[in-house]
Chains A and B, each alone.
Chain A
Amino acid sequence: MSPIDPLAPRGTVPAHEPVLTVSGLRKSFGANQVLKSIDLSVRQGEVLALIGPSGSGKTTVLRCLNGLETPDGGVVAFRGIRPVNFASPASKKQLASLRDQSAMVFQHYNLFPHKTVLENVIEGPVQVQKRPKAEAVREASSLLDRVGLADKKDQYPHELSGGQQQRVGIVRALALKPSLLLFDEPTSALDPELVGDVLHVIKELAEEGWTMALVTHELAFAREVASEVVFMDGGVVVERGHPDQVLRDPQEERTQQFVHRLLNPF
Chain B
Amino acid sequence: MDIDWDLVAGSFWPLVQGGIRGTIPLSLASFFLGLVLALIVALMRLSGNKVISAIARGYVSVIRGTPLLVQLFVIFYGLPSIGVVIDPWPSAIIAFSLNVGGYAAEVIRAAILSVPKGQWEAGHTIGMSPVTTLRRIILPQAARVSVPPLSNTFISLVKDTSLASLILVTELFRQAQEIAAFSQEFMVLYVEAAVIYWVFCLILSSGQSQLEKRLDRYVAH
Which chain A residues have a beta carbon within 8 Å of chain B's beta carbons?
A: 66-68, 96, 99-100, 103-104, 106, 108, 110-115, 123-124, 127-129, 156-158, 172-173, 176
Q: A66-B124, A106-B121 are in contact. List 10 more A-B contacts (CB 8 A).
A: A66-B125, A68-B121, A99-B125, A99-B127, A106-B122, A108-B118, A110-B119, A113-B219, A158-B219, A172-B122
User: What are 9 contact pairs spanning A and B, CB under 8 A?
Assistant: A68-B121, A106-B118, A110-B116, A114-B140, A114-B218, A123-B126, A128-B128, A157-B218, A158-B220
B 191-221 contacts with A by CB, 8 A:
217-220
B140: chain A residues at CB < 8 Å are 114
Does B141 sit within 8 A of A, measured CB to CB? yes
Chain A, residue nearest B126 (CB)? A124
Say yes or no: A113 contacts B125, CB within 8 Å: no
Q: How far, in whole Å, are A111 and B220 apart by their CA atoms in the complex?
A: 14
B118: chain A residues at CB < 8 Å are 106, 108, 110
Q: How far, in whole Å, are A222 and B172 apart by their CA atoms in the complex?
A: 72
A110: chain B residues at CB < 8 Å are 116, 118-119, 121-122
Say yes or no: B124 contacts A112, CB within 8 Å: no
B84-103 interface mask toward A, CB cutoff 8 Å, 1 = contact, 0 = none? 00000000000000000000
Q: How far, in whole Å, are A108 and B128 apart by their CA atoms in the complex?
A: 19
- Give the shortest distance, in Å, between A237 (CB) and chain B (any CB): 24
Q: How far, in whole Å, are A88 and B116 apart by their CA atoms in the complex?
A: 31
Does B179 sit within 8 A of A, measured CB to CB? no
A158: chain B residues at CB < 8 Å are 218-220
| Also in contact, A114 and B127, with CB within 8 A (given A106-B118, A108-B118, A156-B217) | no
Say yes or no: B128 contacts A127, CB within 8 Å: yes
Task: State the 4 A-B residue pairs at the shortest beta-carbon distance, nearest first.
Answer: A124-B126, A158-B220, A128-B127, A110-B118
Q: How far, in whole Å, are A111 and B119 apart by their CA atoms in the complex?
A: 7
Say yes or no: A104 contacts B219, CB within 8 Å: no
* CB < 8 Å A-B pair total: 61
B125: chain A residues at CB < 8 Å are 66, 68, 99, 103-104, 106, 173
A173: chain B residues at CB < 8 Å are 125
A104: chain B residues at CB < 8 Å are 121, 125
Does B136 sit within 8 A of A, measured CB to CB? yes
| Also in contact, A113 and B121, with CB within 8 A (given A103-B126, A127-B132, A128-B128) | no
Does B137 sit within 8 A of A, measured CB to CB? yes
Which of B119, B122, B140, B141 has the largest number of chain A CB atoms within 10 A?
A: B122
Chain A, residue nearest B127 (CB)? A128
Q: How far, in whole Å, are A119 and B20 apart by their CA atoms in the complex?
A: 41
Does B159 sit within 8 A of A, measured CB to CB? no
B141 is contacted by which of A68, A96, A103, A114 (Cβ under 8 Å)? A114
B116: chain A residues at CB < 8 Å are 110
Q: How far, in whole Å, are A158 and B216 apart by their CA atoms in the complex?
A: 11
Does B57 sit within 8 A of A, measured CB to CB? no
Chain B, residue nearest A105 (CB)? B125
B218 is contacted by which of A113, A123, A124 (Cβ under 8 Å)? A113
B 119-147 contacts with A by CB, 8 A:
119, 121-122, 124-128, 132, 136-137, 140-141, 144
Q: How far, in whole Å, are A66 and B119 apart by their CA atoms in the complex?
A: 15
Q: How far, in whole Å, are A114 and B141 apart by their CA atoms in the complex?
A: 7
Say yes or no: B122 contacts A112, CB within 8 Å: yes
A129: chain B residues at CB < 8 Å are 127
Say yes or no: A124 contacts B121, CB within 8 Å: no
A123: chain B residues at CB < 8 Å are 126, 136
- Give the shortest distance, in Å, between B20 (CB) and chain A (any CB): 35
| Also in contact, A127 and B136, with CB within 8 A (given A99-B124, A106-B122, A176-B126) | yes
